[in-house]
Amino acid sequence: MYKYEDQKEMRMAMNGKMIVMLAGVFLIITAVTSTLMQGIQYFLVANSAKAGDANAMKLITDTGLSIGQIYSVGVSYIITTIVEVMTGVICAKFSNRLDKVKISLYADIVLLVVLVLQQSYMMVLAGVFNPFALLSGVLMPLLLLWGVTRLMKLAKKYPDRMYAVEPNPARGGRKAAPQKQNIMEKAKARVKDEEKVARVVDELPDESAETEE
């Protein structure tokens, strides 16, 4: 089992793991409950306008966008949803793995690029730059990036280390099964040794019989 040199590195490992895991879970939740819903709303408005609904037509007219552009905005939200979910799953799964931390880093960078491109596309269509929307969109990926960089430092210093925080076998960690298997193997070996001793004892001549002779 690997040990860190000081408590500062241990806190860095625990904080990095927790931030990456929570940020990954939060990305999945927001992708499903917010980003996906916005994309669906754009598709519904575009479909209603295409079908001739007056309210939808008036809404599109007020925005100054065409039905095709509304569809494209919906597609951009769907793509963002997919990237957010994938990034969240990867980061939550590998939050405690120093040997997989580069995968989390690449996923987060891809998400940041997609979010910036989506907000830039929205800005080009609407003709208005919304810094609040851009900041709120990249805030969680930036927090995730900060957590990943904590783990990257530890992975660089300890290249042979697999986990940021060693799993606890008593809580059903990954090392619990091998430990149980070792105990079973030792028990079987002990039984075999006892059987061999019993066989040797049985093969020994009876001392009481030799004395009577």
Same domain, 91 and 193: no
Q: Kindly state whether residue 2 falls inside one of the protein's structural domains.
A: no
Q: Residue 180: is its pLDDT beyond 50? A: no
pTM to 2 decimals?
0.73
Number of domains in the chain: 2
Cα 199 to Cα 93: distance, rounded to the nearest angstrom: 53
31-61 pLDDT, tens digit per residue, is 999 999 999 999 999 999 998 888 888 888 8
Using alpha carbons, select from 67, 83, 85, 149 the residue that is nearest to residue 116.
Answer: 83
- Claim to verify: residue 59 and residue 99 sit in the same structural domain: yes
Predicted confidence (pLDDT) per residue in 74-87, tens digit: 999 999 999 999 99
Same domain for 183 and 95: no
| Domain match, 99 and 194 both | no
First to last CA, the chain: 63
Same domain, 69 and 127: yes
What does pLDDT average to over the chain? 81
Together in a domain, 205 and 126 = no
Domain that includes residue 11, residue range: 7-166
| Residue 175 confidence (pLDDT) above 50 | no
Task: State mean pLDDT over 147-156.
Answer: 91
pLDDT number for residue 64: 82
For residues 171-191, average pLDDT: 55
pLDDT at 2: 57
User: Are 160 and 134 in a shared domain?
Assistant: yes
Whether residue 115 is found in the same domain as residue 55: yes
DSSP 28: H
Q: Which residues pair with 97 in a beta bridge?
A: 163
Tell me the two tokens of residue 105.
Answer: 């880093």
pLDDT confidence tier of residue 160, bands split at 50, 70 and 90:
confident
Say if residue 93 is in the same domain as residue 180. Answer: no
pLDDT at 193: 61
Q: What are phi and psi of 163, to 5 degrees?
A: -105, 145
- Does any domain span residue 1? no
Out of 63-67, 100-104, 188-192, give the one with best mean pLDDT: 100-104
- Shared domain for 141 and 160, answered yes or no, is yes
List the Cα angle 4/5/9 in 5-degree steps.
Answer: 60
Q: What is the mean pLDDT of residues 190-207?
A: 58
H helix count then E strand count, the chain = 8, 0
Identify the pLDDT of residue 208: 47
Query: Span 101-119, mean pLDDT?
Result: 93
Give yes or no: residues 123 and 186 share one domain. Answer: no
